[in-house]
Amino acid sequence: MRAARRRKASQKVFLGLITMCLVLMGAEGMCRLVFPIAISQSFPGNLADQEIGSGFRFDEDLYWTWKTLPSPGKNVNAHGFRRTKPMRIEKPPDLKRAIVLGDSQVFGALVHADETFSAAAEAMLGSDWEVLNAGISGYRSLNVYRLLQLRMAQFDPDIIVVNCMPFDSPREGTQVADGPLKGLPTHAGPIRAALWHSRIYYLLRHLVEKTRTNRSNWLDTRDDWQPTEIKHHGNHDLILEWAEARDISVLFMEYAVADEDFELGCKTQPGTLPPTAQTIPACKALSDSGHEGQELFFDRNHLTVLGNQIVGEALAKALQQKP
């Protein structure tokens, strides 16, 4: 009798697990159908296609990277740069090479590859320069720091340009940053990879984040905070150290933003970068241009063609002044 009850209980547990799996699979499928529709309603123009449907895969070291390279639909070449002109890994003689790293502002969401500020700068500098666009949507200073270590040294850059918000991500090597760099990218563990691709996981994270009254607003343009409020976050000094150890010059670009009313703002404030950092005055260039925020930004941080042209001019000028 006890054995029969145990078997019956085991069967119930088994059926319960099967039912739960089927429910989760059904919910995941429903989320995959609904999410693109919901997202497209909250982004202007075709930003959803640029930002959400951009073909990323989970990576154990970089957290995410391009699913396949090259990616012709995004004008991302086999080396991971958004570029329509040909290039090779080896830097040609008598050519200065700059690599621009950062998020979708660098990538150029909503504009063509030839309309990004890196492409604009290269066109202004002429044939003696190559300005490579290594922007990846959502990247912050931790992703950039790891990308530098893993993949950028082989391209022998003379200058790297970093366009990341100060104090934007956990510091490399801390427990919240998933530990130290593991080395070359390896196959992701099945659980972490599944979570990264799961819509349910992101939906739950989004709901939990919404309940936090003290959640961070990365695009907040207020300037009354002090760096000590978010001490030990960000990796700009580590990026600078990495580059200087390899005799590579570094330029940090001011991170320009707009508020909901398209008033111009700047995330890079005095004291938010390493003391020896050299900056590109992108915020000042946009402000001094005399154009309205709606002419310069599509939304909070994605530049229009005109905005990219103005920032590209500031970038070209800064690169020309480097020895």
At 183, list the tokens.
């080395």
Single-letter amino acid, residue 121 = A
- Residue 194, pLDDT score: 66
- Residue 33, pLDDT score: 67
Tell me the mean pLDDT in the region 39-43: 41
Q: Which long-range contacts (CB under 8 A, 24 or more apart) does 6-10 make?
A: none
Q: Cα 160 vs. chain centroid, distance in angstroms? A: 16
What is the domain partition of the chain in residue ranges?
A: 63-185+217-321
**Using one digit for the tens of pLDDT, what is the confidence trace for 263-284?**
999 999 888 888 899 999 999 9
The H or E element spanning position 161 is strand 159-163
Q: What architecture (CATH level 2) is domain 63-185+217-321?
A: 3-Layer(aba) Sandwich (3.40)
For the cut 90, the answer to whether the pLDDT of residue 15 exceeds it is no
Q: What's the count of helices (H) and strands (E) in the chain, helices before strands?
A: 11, 9
With bands split at pLDDT 50, 70 and 90, how would you rate the model's confidence at 286?
very high
SS3 content of the chain, % helix, strand, coil (to 5): 45, 15, 40
- Residue 213, pLDDT score: 59
For the cut 90, the answer to whether the pLDDT of residue 54 exceeds it is no
| From 26-30, 118-122, 125-129, 208-212, the region with the lowest mean pLDDT | 208-212
**Using one digit for the tens of pLDDT, what is the confidence trace for 74-89?**
899 999 999 999 999 9
For the cut 90, the answer to whether the pLDDT of residue 236 exceeds it is yes
pLDDT, averaged across the chain: 81
- Residue 226, pLDDT score: 45
- Residue 13, pLDDT score: 78
- Residue 322, pLDDT score: 84
Asked whether 162 and 252 are in contact (CB, 8 A), the reply is: yes
For the cut 60, the answer to whether the pLDDT of residue 52 exceeds it is no
For the cut 90, the answer to whether the pLDDT of residue 256 exceeds it is yes
- Residue 229, pLDDT score: 45
Task: Output 198 or 193, whichever has higher pLDDT.
Answer: 198
- Residue 242, pLDDT score: 94
With bands split at pLDDT 50, 70 and 90, how would you rate the model's confidence at 232?
very low
Rounded to whole angstroms, how far apart are CA atoms 118 and 291?
20
3-state SS, residue 176: helix
With bands split at pLDDT 50, 70 and 90, how would you rate the model's confidence at 96?
very high
Q: How many CB atoms lie within 10 A of CB 72?
A: 8
At 88, list the tokens.
């090779």
State which of 39-48, 138-147, 212-221, 288-297 shows the largest mean pLDDT. 288-297
**Using one digit for the tens of pLDDT, what is the confidence trace for 151-171?**
999 999 999 999 998 888 877
Closest CA to 102 of 86, 124, 82, 122: 82
